[in-house]
Structure 1
């Protein structure tokens, strides 16, 4: 009997970006981004994140902004792998994960006096979602799907052609960011910013493979672990009988078969992982702004954030050491360069464009996945705002996000798909010192097809087609004291 080997659950690198931005960064910190997008040359309170050097051109005073967003995302993987036909009869299966975050808050504050502006913010700067795959993932099930073929190699179990498994996966990623900094107006037209953001990571992953069954030798569906535990017991009894009779050679053969049956039972046993991860790192940030007439130009650079996350493991029966208690994994936040230009076309009409580049190849990732990125993420943004009347504005914008990842980066547990994002909304001056912003933002993702001759290490060809959906609603209040 050949030993059955099942690949255990691999959850550690699940990526759950819910917002706009790069592989780990959320760029929609404020509702003005949702309804305008191109905010990299802003001189309003959202500039605390998008263009902190531009805060020097605000009027003197103390400003605060509170924002709330609701995000809803699906992650869909259509996996084609011939052995999947043993569970339902179809070689193509859809694995769908749903992520929802009913409320994501962010808080901004600015104190502007003469040439100085001191600012701070607290927001979910990365992740923010919990994704649930009620039927697991193809990478989980592909190992189990080999079970009928492995059993068929033994004549005693010929005819095995069906399997079943209960599989589940849920993962959550959140990076909280607390940013502080100072802006100084060097000349009438030129200003600079220096600051930092403290990032705290809080991740959690839970998943399992349970109750693996097969129609052994063409019979009824039975639990594989229970079945082969029983077979091992019978073989050990036979070995003991031959040992008592003095036939050591036959007894040894039965012992070997019993050992193989035990290994098969253990290989098909339930697998479970319950692991939390935490870590922290600091992001230095610098920025410049140049304002002249109707034009404004803003530039910001966020340095690479060295960050390791440490396991706090409750259960790990996967047999994989990387999930053990106390193990550290690299999870750097890539450095980011942003640049934007805004122009006042008319007193009631404004337009902006922006560019983001994430230096993903410089950030250390789990399993050295940065080596499978040919170039960093590029984003191109544009937006316009029109004053409908003295107290109301409408705006809209779009963003193109283009990733530079290759096939070796992509997996059903962590994939990045290029996209187009769109947002629109309105601002209402509900009081002389208070503005209400509302917005709707959605993303259309490309499909990414990955063909391989070695699907999840099985040695058999397979295909995954990755895509997502994303919708975000937002409302916020800006207040000047």
Structure 2
């Protein structure tokens, strides 16, 4: 039985997908500027600390500061169809599992100081993860093995038609990114940048699997078919099976091990009622079996019931994870007249996260164990063109090298290259005080069907962001934005659904909405 394994593997992965835009493990919307116009890869404003560090050479001399808060509202929805679910879903094989991640405060800042040809800049943002996902009713990946208990018992002659379980899990993941850049203006057209980001991981996972209930009709253990704890039923069954085995031990020790049950009745060693009881316990007629064979069958049954009792006992998990890694960054910017082109490359970040376990009834999260969780390399290039004094347009391209980043259980093997993003946007200066902007992003995931599970899935999507800026004073600007993403559904059908050897289907979907507000200040 795989109940405990599939249940809590989810806790490691339910929060690993970022609640922001970006790749599988990378957040790219690290300022409000991105929300109101996602195509920022050729930015020459303060948000270029992250998006285009080489473009900072076009800032005016002095200090520049930007503060942002993002409020994120995201849901993850998995519609699962599996025939055994009908025993806990009013006869319907289809259940919908929904998780929510709604952090109201996601802060970030960018700071730069420019003097002549040189710029020193720093920034902080949630570079990966970014929130807490809560599944109040679990997920199909660990309910499926539980739903197989009635199927398995019924197949063994113990009619069971229903089950229930109390399931809950919550995961929180943050990768705090502290970035430092140096930018140099080579000439009027070219500038370059070198930087690094320190990534600090802080994850927390809590969950439980409690009170698995079933209604087996068993002539001795539960003759009325009342709802009973699965752990209690299997524990009692193990005790009864071991008792039956022990009752045969003296008979075998007396030299009757090779005698059949029928022969033992004829010899007066056993009664017909005792043989009937032994047959009932195994769910088969044992009259023709030897005493040693019957004892062996009961020993096997006792071991199986003991394992089932252990698997259906209440499980708790309380685990945090920590780790850190450094991302080297290089950038190049080209500027001529109204055209600006920016490019950057972030190298792969080798990263292991370590378990700091308080409670682990699963035996899967030993304290101090490390799990690989590399942040993939990332390439971005973009262009911005000033059509006229008040109007400019922009575009960009992102590629995440996800298949080269080591992941838990080698999931990177199920990715064809990585995520690709195509971005476009525009902004218009209405007056000296007001600016409006909008843009979009098309995301094409690189994962394969084997990658997708309710524990971790990636979907292609398109996003739209819009907003504006208000020049409160010559030195201060207020930014406001709204950003939303529409995802494509992904349907996965399996002939061996979650290891049950039965067919089942999952349909993956998610929603994402982000509100942003920020201040830019120069001094």
**Bigger shift: residues 72-81 or 145-154:** 145-154
For the 8 Å contact 2:111–2:122, the answer to whether it is kept is yes
Residue 80 of structure 1 aligns with which residue?
81
For the 8 Å contact 2:3–2:142, the answer to whether it is kept is no
TM-score by length of 2: 0.87
**Cα deviation, residue 287, structure 1:** 0.4
Residue 222 of structure 1 aligns with which residue?
228
Residues 376-391 of structure 1 mapped to structure 2, 5 A cutoff: 376-391=418-433
Structure 2 CA distance for aligned equivalents of residues 256 and 365 of structure 1: 38
TM-superposition CA deviations, 1:283-336 (whole Å, max 9, x none): 00010101111110101111111111111112222243xx21111111111111
Structure 2 CA distance for aligned equivalents of residues 234 and 294 of structure 1: 85
Larger radius of gyration: 2
- Is the partner of 2:384 in helix, strand or coil? strand
**Cα deviation, residue 388, structure 1:** 1.5
**Cα deviation, residue 149, structure 1:** 1.3
After superposition, the Cα gap between the structure-2 partners of 1:7 and 1:452, relative to the gap in structure 1 and judged at 3 Å, is farther
**Cα deviation, residue 163, structure 1:** 1.1
Structure 2 CA distance for aligned equivalents of residues 118 and 18 of structure 1: 29
Structure 2 residue 78 is matched with structure 1 residue 36? no
Which of these residues, 329, 332, 335, is aligned with residue 371 of structure 2?
329
For the 8 Å contact 2:122–2:179, the answer to whether it is kept is yes
Residue 304 of structure 1 aligns with which residue?
348
Residue 182 of structure 2 aligns with which residue?
182
**Cα deviation, residue 263, structure 1:** 2.4
Residues 268-287 of structure 1 mapped to structure 2, 5 A cutoff: 268-287=312-331
**Bigger shift: residues 159-168 or 400-409:** 159-168
Structure 2 CA distance for aligned equivalents of residues 238 and 197 of structure 1: 65
Residues 449-460 of structure 1 mapped to structure 2, 5 A cutoff: 449-460=491-502
Structure 2 CA distance for aligned equivalents of residues 256 and 196 of structure 1: 59
Give the gaps of 5 or more residues in structure 2: 218-223, 258-290
Structure 2 CA distance for aligned equivalents of residues 262 and 187 of structure 1: 76
- Is the partner of 1:346 in helix, strand or coil? coil
Residue 119 of structure 1 aligns with which residue?
121
- Is the partner of 1:22 in helix, strand or coil? coil
Residue 55 of structure 1 aligns with which residue?
56
After superposition, the Cα gap between the structure-2 partners of 1:39 and 1:342, relative to the gap in structure 1 and judged at 3 Å, is same
Residue 265 of structure 1 aligns with which residue?
309
Greater share of residues in strand:
1
Residue 171 of structure 2 aligns with which residue?
171
After superposition, the Cα gap between the structure-2 partners of 1:324 and 1:427, relative to the gap in structure 1 and judged at 3 Å, is same
For the 8 Å contact 1:16–1:130, the answer to whether it is kept is no
Residue 138 of structure 1 aligns with which residue?
140
Which of these residues, 77, 87, 99, is aligned with residue 97 of structure 1?
99
**Cα deviation, residue 261, structure 1:** 2.7
**Bigger shift: residues 286-295 or 208-217:** 208-217
Give the gaps of 5 or more residues in structure 1: none
**Cα deviation, residue 375, structure 1:** 2.1
How many residue pairs end up in the alignment?
474
Structure 2 residue 459 is matched with structure 1 residue 417? yes
